[in-house]
């Protein structure tokens, strides 16, 4: 094999490095084994060579970008080579007039947006998962975030990908048309495949114009069902909200306790957070429509941002929600974050029953939801070393998944399957469909052996 560069720059077997790439504090699951090496490719050819070597010796490859996934995606239960894209973190080409950008998988979406802001093009990339998530992993899990109700999920913004297949061959799925019906939409199956079909080494992403005006509205309700029903009525009416988030009474209390949004004190009842964007005229029209709709749901005191500062203050509660919850952990405690999505008409009942489960088992849990997408998170504090608490949190998560699937929903709205939800996937799609998926990874891309 040709010498590509000094191997010391590319391969690390430092134990700390192995640990940092195979264990995650945030993840719902970790395994007892680590990769045998971490590879640091600098370009697509490096990745191809890594794949050829690993393919020859049947060694698993685990792609690694932001490491912020929650279901054990970076774990290496069969050892192998973790492949870290930290040196492939560039915005390669910005096509302002085509409204697209070519990027490497190690680029963080927040850094991409910072660079786009500096470019003066007035464009941005609208998918907003965890702040440290990077493009490679975002493609892997078909991630989304608060903007999904307006802008969709990762798969809606990937125009093409350059990928390395298991045997090291390199293909590019597509060119840069804004619309396409040519051949199989390989992007469609690659986005969300969690590194089990291919390794993405470059991607072209669509960009959106930054809205000229934004505003935020916060509306508390007396109880959870009423809040969810109000949200559903707004979606049902087709109001083009930019974000529509729910936080339950526990989460609102946690934010008050955390104090990060002081001096503001929030009503500790289920609350909807709205973001609106467009021209000032459109935003005001949206706000008027929402005001009319929620009037039927007996809302508490509605807070409307009157300027850009107030907008930031109101939205800060949503932004701080995870950190406020993390701050509540006592010594030895962890936070289990999980997510499901369901048909809109069943959202209120699935949230309520999941909350009841946690309460019945004595766990401290809060609910946050991207209710515009009928998608919610439960965040549960527990002590892993206490077998009863561990059993309880697993009961709650399994119950939530089973309930979501029971009403024709999914076990994972935006976090992917990883190792944490492998059993749930089979429960959700059934053995036959799972086999069709497995077949595609084993045979279509010759990849399954390498990564699971």
Site for a second copy in 283-342 (CB under 8 A): 284-286, 288-289, 340-342
Residue 162: CA count within 13 A, CB half-sphere: 15
Please report whether residue 437 would count as binding a second copy according to CB under 8 A. yes
> Which strands form 100-103's sheet, in the order they lie side by side?
91-95, 100-103, 199-206, 158-164, 170-172
Please report whether residue 259 would count as binding a second copy according to CB under 8 A. no
Angle of CA points 90, 95, 100, to nearest 5°: 80
Residues 126, 208: contact at Cβ < 8 Å?
A: yes
Per CB under 8 A, the list member of 56, 131, 176, 259 interacting with a second copy is: 176
Q: Pick the stretch among 56-64, 85-93, 322-330, 411-419 that binds a second copy (CB under 8 A).
A: 411-419
Per CB under 8 A, the list member of 48, 141, 201, 324 interacting with a second copy is: 141
Per CB under 8 A, the list member of 17, 225, 434, 452 interacting with a second copy is: 434
Please report whether residue 399 would count as binding a second copy according to CB under 8 A. no
Please report whether residue 416 would count as binding a second copy according to CB under 8 A. yes
Per CB under 8 A, the list member of 32, 181, 262, 330 interacting with a second copy is: 181
Listed in sequence order, the residues at least 6 apart from 60 whose beta carbon sits closer than 8 Å to its beta carbon are 54, 76, 78, 79, 80, 81, 449, 450, 451
Please report whether residue 242 would count as binding a second copy according to CB under 8 A. no
Instruction: Provide, rounded to whole angstroms, the least separation between the CB of residue 229 and a second copy.
Output: 10
Q: Which C-beta is closer to a second copy: that of 102 or that of 254?
A: 102
Tokens of 233: 């009525």
Listed in sequence order, the residues at least 6 apart from 348 whose beta carbon sits closer than 8 Å to its beta carbon are 224, 225, 228, 229
Site for a second copy in 194-213 (CB under 8 A): 197, 208-211
Q: Which C-beta is closer to a second copy: that of 105 or that of 137?
A: 137
Contact flags string 372-391 toward a second copy, x per CB under 8 A = -xxx----------------
Contact flags string 28-47 toward a second copy, x per CB under 8 A = --------------------
Per CB under 8 A, the list member of 12, 142, 366, 389 interacting with a second copy is: 142
Q: Which helix (H) or strand (E) holds 348?
A: helix 347-360
Residue by residue, what is the 3-state secondary structure of 154-167?
Answer: HHHCEEEEEEECCC
Per CB under 8 A, the list member of 55, 73, 134, 155 interacting with a second copy is: 155
10 Å Cβ neighbour count for 142?
23
Per CB under 8 A, the list member of 351, 412, 419, 450 interacting with a second copy is: 412
Please report whether residue 120 would count as binding a second copy according to CB under 8 A. no
C-alpha distance from residue 309 to each of 2, 214, 282, 316 (Å): 57, 11, 20, 11
For tokens 């909200």, the residue is 241
Per CB under 8 A, the list member of 89, 100, 128, 214 interacting with a second copy is: 100
10 Å Cβ neighbour count for 93?
11
d(CA 353, CA 224): 11
């Amino acid at each position: 094999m040709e010498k590509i560069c000094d191997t010391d720059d590319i391969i690390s077997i430092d134990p700390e490095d192995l640990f940092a790439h195979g264990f995650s504090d945030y993840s719902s699951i970790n395994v007892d084994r680590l990769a045998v090496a971490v590879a640091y490719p600098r370009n697509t050819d490096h990745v191809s060579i890594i794949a050829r070597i690993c393919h020859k010796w049947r060694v698993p490859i685990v792609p690694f970008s932001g490491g912020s996934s929650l279901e054990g995606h970076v774990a290496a239960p069969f050892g192998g080579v973790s492949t870290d894209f930290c040196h492939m973190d560039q915005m390669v080409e910005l096509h302002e007039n085509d409204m697209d950008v070519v990027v490497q998988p190690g680029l963080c979406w927040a850094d991409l947006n910072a660079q786009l802001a500096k470019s003066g093009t007035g464009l941005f990339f609208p998918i907003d998962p965890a702040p440290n998530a990077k493009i490679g992993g975002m493609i892997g899990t078909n991630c989304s975030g608060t903007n999904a109700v307006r802008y969709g999920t990762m798969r809606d913004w990937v125009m093409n990908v350059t990928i390395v297949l298991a045997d090291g061959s390199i293909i590019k799925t597509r060119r840069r048309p804004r619309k396409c019906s040519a051949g199989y939409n390989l992007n469609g199956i690659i986005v969300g495949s969690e590194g089990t079909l291919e390794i993405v080494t470059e991607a072209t992403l669509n960009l959106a114009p930054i809205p000229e005006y934004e505003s935020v509205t916060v509306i508390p309700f007396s109880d959870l069902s009423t809040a969810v029903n109000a949200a559903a009525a707004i979606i049902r009416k087709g109001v083009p909200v930019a974000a529509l988030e729910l936080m339950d009474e526990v989460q609102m209390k946690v934010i008050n306790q955390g104090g990060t949004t002081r001096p503001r004190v929030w009503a500790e009842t289920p609350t909807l957070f709205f973001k609106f964007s467009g021209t000032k005229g459109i935003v005001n029209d949206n706000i008027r429509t929402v005001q009319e709709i929620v009037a039927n749901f007996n809302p508490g005191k509605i807070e409307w941002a009157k300027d850009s500062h107030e907008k930031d203050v109101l939205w800060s509660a949503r932004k701080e929600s995870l950190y406020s919850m993390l701050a509540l952990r006592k010594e030895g405690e962890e936070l289990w974050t999980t997510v499901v999505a369901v048909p809109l008409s069943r959202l209120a009942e699935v949230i309520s029953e999941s909350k009841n489960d946690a309460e019945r088992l004595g766990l401290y849990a809060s609910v946050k939801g991207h209710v515009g997408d009928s998608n919610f998170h439960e965040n549960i504090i527990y002590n892993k070393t206490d077998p009863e608490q561990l059993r309880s949190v697993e009961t709650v998560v399994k119950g939530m998944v089973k309930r979501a699937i029971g009403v024709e929903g999914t076990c994972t709205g935006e976090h992917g399957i990883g190792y944490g939800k492998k059993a749930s996937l089979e429960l959700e799609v059934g053995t036959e469909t799972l086999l069709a998926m497995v077949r595609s990874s084993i045979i279509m891309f010759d990849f399954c052996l390498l990564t699971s």
